[in-house]
Structure 1
Amino acid sequence: MKHPLILSLLLVLSCFAVAGDHSPVRPQKVSTFSIVARDPATGQMGIAVASRYFSVGSVVPWAEANVGAVATQADVNVGYGPKALELLRLGLTAQEVADRLLAEDTFPGKDGRQFGIVDAKGNAVTYTAPHAPNWAGGQKGSNWAAQGNILAGPQVPEAMGKAFDATQGELAEKLYAALKAGDSVGGDKRGRQSASMLIVCKECGRNTNNDRYLYINVDDNPDPFKELRRLLDAALANNYGDQAYKLFEIKKITEARKAAEKAANYSPTNSDSHMDLGFFDYLAGDKKAALEEFEKAKKLDPNFRQQWEAEVSFEKDFAPIKEDKEFMNKLFPEHD
């Protein structure tokens, strides 16, 4: 009978022999390209990011309304996100925050960090440590900073900045355009997997007391840009629909109508969006437009009349439409 100690040693050696047949598992770095930005017209701040990395939105984007936006990546110290926002909240500029983050970083891998910061005044910083995975670097402009690592080359952040500046419209569209531009010139040279967008502004989100305008994530998808676009359209449609009813509640019909029109544009196959716009068109005195929107909703929803009746019953301001017999005959002819 063998000695127990010898058996134990043999068991340990056999485990190492088996382990030697497999490559060691190494921690994966967050390699990505991102842009942090501020819209001076609205005060919105946000981040858009893409990577060949699972669920990049759970690691990179950080933002707080009227404070700033931060992207943490490469050999990432995730604590940079909340710490940066805390320092910005105290009144430090983006550059001062960057200096403090690096000075106080005691975790391993500091020479591989990368981050971007924009503060509430539009001051922007992009930082890439000397040992961040190549190619790594960034660019900054007025109200934005773009950066990335394991990229096809410097053309990626350059294209992102140009697209951001050239794109008209709200911050979400500018951020998406920047991300697409980065991808079009090579993006993350390992390929695609996930993407995320986070935008904040004071009490601009859906429902009540919500500073998060949108937060959409594609965690694992062979074409994250297509899915991010779909989610962005859905998010903006819901946001504008929510804005429309908030404006309607305070009797700003013209503004409510404009918001409802944007919601319908972002969700052209959603019958509810067209129906809502139809109601606001009618209240604004444009019966022709109202009928056109109701007809669009009718084609999309076989139960349109039931939904329409329910909406009119619920919202008393819509009730007078039922008394408009000429309009009702056009909307619901006798043969319907």
Structure 2
Amino acid sequence: MTFSIVARSADGTAHGVAVASKFLGAGAVVPAAAAGIGAVATQSYANLAYRPQALALLSTGVDADGTVRALIAGDAGPVTHRQVGVVSTQGPGAGFTGDQCHPWAGGATGDGYAIQGNMLAGPQVVADMETTWLAGADEPRLQYRLLGALRAGDLAGGDRRGRQSAALLVVAKGMGYGGTSDIVADLRVDDHPDPVAELARLLELHTLYFERPDPATLIPLTGAIADEVRTRLATAGHTGADLDEELASWAGIENLEERVVPGSIDPLVLDQLRTKS
């Protein structure tokens, strides 16, 4: 009833899951991840106990394959209908597809990823997801690489019953909001006619509001740029003498505080200021 990818970033610092399904709120059921530990997706008559169990096993040093085998061995329910994918901090991902999952059902695993799906349009869904994942090795942002693979599965037919929900979860130590959280991205589309496209839209907004700026792109707040910023801030009612302070105040109101760097301005912040003033 679902297709998903569980993976870690090329540098091993981030773990995440992307999932889509003809199922209400798949993001509330399928994914779980813990920074520095790994990630898991449980689906097809999902056993939600797999999520804490998998992360607990991974945290003790059990590898992905051992974790999957332990989950299945300890399941008193209908394991023939279960599907699960797991990735740890190193080595290949691992997966399991019960032999009574609704067809087409299957998966693919490799170094740092596990892809799985059931009730799919066909094997091309998993194949295209894997091809896209492998081709995206140069994308450093795990959330975008996961989304690319999910989009490929969707375009290949995805869930043969249709579309309804999609979700993306990515974690990394200290890389969440304000540096006080490990949650890089946690986005859900619970009920939508084109959930993967909507998830992509939400991720673009998330990037704008919550990613930290690239230091190489920062523009010094001097000269003509400083004059323009001061003028535009004044039209928004920010007229104090300290330009950094006034810019930070405006940015906080616009939910752009993660992009504030004293003495400089992020080009994306400047674009938003120009649009809104």
TM-score band, normalised by shorter chain: 0.7 to 0.9
What SS is found at the alignment partner of 1:234? helix
* Deviation at residue 142 of structure 1 after TM alignment: 2.1
CA distance in 2, matches of 1:76, 1:219: 17
Corresponding residue to 1:79 among 42, 49, 53:
49
* Structure with the bigger percentage of strand: 2
- Measure the CA separation in 1 of the matches of 2:95 and 2:262: 55
Q: Which residue, 143, 148, 155 being the options, matches 1:184? A: 155
Match 1:144 to one of 103, 106, 113: 113
**In 2: Cα distance, 1:293 partner to 1:226 partner:** 36
Counterpart selection for 1:174 from 120, 145, 148: 145
After superposition, the Cα gap between the structure-2 partners of 1:306 and 1:175, relative to the gap in structure 1 and judged at 3 Å, is same
Shift of 1:135: 0.7
Whole-Å separation in 1 of the counterparts to 2:108 and 2:173: 28
Aligned length: 250
Rounded Cα–Cα distance in structure 1 between residues aligned with 2:169 and 2:206: 11
Tell whether the 8 Å contact from 2:40 to 2:87 is kept in structure 1 after alignment: yes
Q: CA deviation at 1:32?
A: 0.4
Q: How big is the shift at 1:316?
A: 9.6
Alignment check: 8 A CA contact 2:220 2:263 kept: no
Specify the code of the residue in structure 1 equivalent to 2:236: Q
Once the two structures are TM-superposed, the CA of residue 293 in structure 1 deviates from its matched residue by 8.6
SS at match of 1:91: coil
8 Å Cα contact 2:19-2:30 kept in structure 1: yes
Contact 1:122/1:144, CA 8 A, preserved across alignment: no
SS of aligned partner of 2:177: coil
* Residue identity matched to 1:200: V
Match of 2:191? 220
Q: Is the deviation greater in 92-101 or in 117-126?
A: 117-126
| Letter aligned with residue 219 of structure 2 | D
Q: Which residue of structure 2 lines up, in the alignment, with residue 128 of structure 1? A: 97
Per-residue deviation, 1:116 = 0.5
The structural deviation recorded for 1:76 is 1.2
**CA displacement at 1:320 relative to structure 2:** 8.7
Distance of 1:293 and 1:77 partners within structure 2: 56
Stretches of structure 2 lacking an aligned partner (at least 5 in a row): 249-260, 265-277
Q: CA deviation at 1:141?
A: 2.0
SS at match of 1:130: coil
Normalising to structure 1: TM-score of the pair? 0.68
Cα RMSD for the two superposed structures: 2.9
Distance change in 2, residues 1:292/1:56 (3 Å): farther
Deviations 1:14-69 (A, max 9, x none): xxxxxxxxxxxxxxxxx100000111325111000000000000000000001001
Q: How does 1:307-322 map to 2 (within 5 A)?
A: 309=239, 312=243, 314=245
Select the structure with the greater relative contact order (CA < 8 A; seq sep ≥ 6): 2
Measured in 2, the distance between the counterparts of 1:120 and 1:192 equals 32
Secondary structure of 1:75 counterpart: coil
Alpha carbons of structure 1 residues 88 and 222: separation in structure 2 relative to 1, 3 Å: same
Kindly report structure 1 stretches of 4+ aligned residues shifted beyond 4 Å: 291-295, 315-321
| Contact residue 312 and residue 319 of structure 1 kept, 8 A | no
The one of 175, 187, 209 equivalent to 1:238 is 209
State the match for 1:15 in structure 2: none
Whether contact under 8 Å (1:141, 1:161) holds in the other structure is no
Q: What is the rounded CA distance, in whole Å, between the counterparts of 1:319 and 1:176 in structure 2?
A: 33
Q: Displacement, 1:305?
A: 2.9
CA contact 2:40–2:54 (8 Å) conserved in 1: yes
- SS of corresponding position for 1:200: strand
Extract unaligned runs of 5+ from structure 1: 1-30, 245-254, 262-279, 322-336
Give how far 1:138 is off: 0.3
> Residue 140 of structure 1: CA displacement?
1.3
Higher helix share: 1
Q: Within 2, Cα distance between the matches of 1:210 and 1:157?
A: 32
2:268 is matched with which residue?
Answer: none
What residue number does 1:67 align with?
Answer: 37
Secondary structure of 2:160's aligned partner: coil
**CA offsets 1:267-311 (integer angstroms, 9 cap, x no match):** xxxxxxxxxxxxx4124x6x57x479959x95xxxx763355467
Is the counterpart of residue 111 in structure 1 residue 57 in structure 2?
A: no
